[in-house]
Structure 1
Amino acid sequence: MIVISRSLEVCHNMECQKFLKVKVLSDEEAWKLFKNKLSYGKRLPPKVEEIAREVVKKCAGLPLAIITMAGSLRRVVDIHDWRDALEELKESCVGRDVMENEVFPILLCSYNRLRDPILKRCFLYCSLYPEDHGIQRHKLISNFISEGLMERRRSRQAYFDQGHKILNKLENVCLLERCKITYSVVLGVKMHDLIREMALKITKDDYMVKAGLQLNEIPEEQEWKEDLVKVSLMWNRIKGISGVTSPKCPKLSTLLLSFNPLKSIPDSFFLQMRGLHILNLSYTRIKYLPSSISDLEELNALLLSNCHKLVFVPPLGNLKALKDLDLSNSAIKEIPQGVESLTNLKCLDTIGSHIEKIPTGIF
């Protein structure tokens, strides 16, 4: 068995017999990798090349840092931009000497160079998914739309075009990687684990991300801080929510509980989450939604895709802000009561559901 780790302590704890330290790249290897990922085509002007070599030195021979930095400087020609990038890098790397503390400032510098707040918001959203998790592009863009992360467009197709453009940009600057989803032929994206760690450091005060950790229960009450904006508990083993009163999270806008064997939610659970905008319960085993869902008046998206056991959704007439209602591949037989009064609804998905008829006048 071969163990690969960034930590020698991990290797010691696993009682490895031999140790082989992978050296960082030499100056020349680092420069070749940087030029290759820069994709500049032509030879850099001498003065720009001089600055570029200084940038490469600051990456300390670490391939991920070199690739990410090169991605952020792709197609940059003006010498002033190169000087500015080097200055940012120098400031972010002051006093750093441990490997993780060397690479994180470089990755952070690449993130800061995005400039566009929409790109930053969409990039940080990807950290809500589990580590090393391939994310389907169209699903991710649907979430960008529900979250209101992008500029407004007149049609859903226009939103998707914008979303693909954003993901392409994040791939081009090497903050996301293109991948194939193992269980389908569609293309997806994923974050390198170090880049995800950097994103989670940026969002540590606003996000609680415990995705893909094989949790059997939701976090204890003290972990639900009042300032939380997004909580991701997707891809765990949570079967029920018990012994927890409603977490006091008045600022919480996004709660992701998808891909859990969740069977029920106490009616009181949402009492102190009245600001909730996005509730994703897709791929759970829930049968009945609690009646308190009807009181989430700021809810923009209620996502219940592939809830194969779901038979009841309470009246939704009070959810005047609701734009996206996904009932696809559920056991629902009737359109929920009150949908006819949801004048802001943009997307109603009932594909694969058991709905037998749509009441006259509902549209």
Structure 2
Amino acid sequence: MLKKTGKYVLILDDVWDRFCLEEVGIPESSSSNGWKLVLTTRSVHVCKRMGCKDILAIPLSEEEALILFLNKVGPNIVQSASIMPILKLVVNECACLPLTIVVVAGTLKGEDDPCIWRNALKELKERIGMIEGAEAEVIERLKFSFDHIKDEKVKRCFLYCALYPEDFKIEKDDLIECWIDEGFIEEMDKKRNERHGLCLFEKVGRKLFVRKCYQTIQSALCEDA
């Protein structure tokens, strides 16, 4: 049980569900004990059930969202007059959410066919239109990116990363060895296995939300959706 007196702030990050503070040794904050509790959550429902005053995070402006998307999607797309009008509509479907923008832009990076962009826009609208709730909409936008990965090996390798905890530093060589052991990589010799593994590692990091670390790309952090 926290017994420290005086003024201080306790921050709980990324809370997914309601829980009893006293059960984990946290007394209720009040004017008499002089401390405050701050928690972050993607769910307004959790915030209300915890009895907190909710302060919504401000999303990116439309201009900031467009700039971020253009930075991630590649220069060849930025220069395409036929794609830019569709691209702006795709950005609108990302609801100015940074993670969604990065993931969707990564999915469409290098795609210079306007038909592919129109189909992507249509699918995003249909997916969001079929569900209710802000949290479900975010998940559906991220799922859009995963579903559009054409290489089944990349999908399997990414799903394997879900075995690791959030923000766990995954060593590149260890991860590739695991992929080989699981049969995701089936080359005839060790060097070709390693080269194929490096290629898959790059694709997983580039296409999906696994954050790469260090310029030498020796490891990665598994992102929370």
**Distance in 2, Cα, partners of 1:164 & 1:186:** 10
**Distance in 1, Cα, partners of 2:49 & 2:123:** 38
**Distance in 1, Cα, partners of 2:195 & 2:100:** 30
Partner of 2:176: 141
Provide closer, same or farther for how the CA distance between residues 14 and 91 of structure 1 changes in structure 2, counting only shifts above 3 A.
closer
Q: Does 1:36 align with 2:71?
A: yes
Partner of 1:217: none
Provide closer, same or farther for how the CA distance between residues 159 and 5 of structure 1 changes in structure 2, counting only shifts above 3 A.
same
Partner of 1:120: 155
Identify the match of residue 199 of structure 2 among 165, 184, 189.
165
Q: Which has the higher contact order (CA 8 A, sep 6+)?
A: 2
Partner of 1:86: 121
- Check the 8 A contact 2:70/2:78 in 1, yes or no: no
TM-score by length of 2: 0.75
- Check the 8 A contact 1:134/1:188 in 2, yes or no: yes
Q: Does 1:23 align with 2:54?
A: no
- In angstroms, what is the RMSD of aligned CA positions? 2.2
Q: Does 1:7 align with 2:38?
A: no
User: Can you list the C-alpha shifts for 1:95-153, whole angstroms capped at 9, x where unaligned?
Assistant: 33422211111111111111111111111111111222111111111110110012x21
Provide closer, same or farther for how the CA distance between residues 102 and 50 of structure 1 changes in structure 2, counting only shifts above 3 A.
same
User: Can you list the C-alpha shifts for 1:329-348, whole angstroms capped at 9, x where unaligned?
Assistant: xxxxxxxxxxxxxxxxxxxx
Letter in 1 for 2:187: R
Partner of 2:85: 50
Partner of 1:216: none
Partner of 2:190: 156
Letter in 2 for 1:65: T
**Distance in 2, Cα, partners of 1:42 & 1:94:** 27
Q: Does 1:192 align with 2:223?
A: yes
Return 5+ residue gaps in structure 2 as ranges. Answer: 1-8, 12-38
Partner of 2:130: 95
TM-score by length of 1: 0.48
Provide closer, same or farther for how the CA distance between residues 70 and 176 of structure 1 changes in structure 2, counting only shifts above 3 A.
same
Provide closer, same or farther for how the CA distance between residues 45 and 59 of structure 1 changes in structure 2, counting only shifts above 3 A.
same
User: Can you list the C-alpha shifts for 1:278-306, whole angstroms capped at 9, x where unaligned?
Assistant: xxxxxxxxxxxxxxxxxxxxxxxxxxxxx
Partner of 2:4: none
Q: Does 1:111 align with 2:142?
A: no
Provide closer, same or farther for how the CA distance between residues 186 and 112 of structure 1 changes in structure 2, counting only shifts above 3 A.
closer
Provide closer, same or farther for how the CA distance between residues 62 and 147 of structure 1 changes in structure 2, counting only shifts above 3 A.
same
Provide closer, same or farther for how the CA distance between residues 82 and 186 of structure 1 changes in structure 2, counting only shifts above 3 A.
closer
What is the CA-CA distance between 1:25 and the residue it aligns to? 1.9
**Distance in 1, Cα, partners of 2:77 & 2:179:** 37
Percent identical residues: 35
Letter in 1 for 2:199: K
Provide closer, same or farther for how the CA distance between residues 61 and 168 of structure 1 changes in structure 2, counting only shifts above 3 A.
same
Q: Does 1:178 align with 2:212?
A: yes
- The structure that is helix-richer by fraction is 2
Q: Work out which of the two has the higher radius of gyration on C-alpha atoms and give 1 or 2.
A: 1
**Distance in 2, Cα, partners of 1:186 & 1:55:** 30
Letter in 2 for 1:160: E
What is the CA-CA distance between 1:12 and the residue it aligns to? 5.2
SS at structure 1 position matched to 2:58 = coil
User: Can you list the C-alpha shifts for 1:144-184, whole angstroms capped at 9, x where unaligned?
Assistant: 0110012x21211211111111110111124311136xxxx
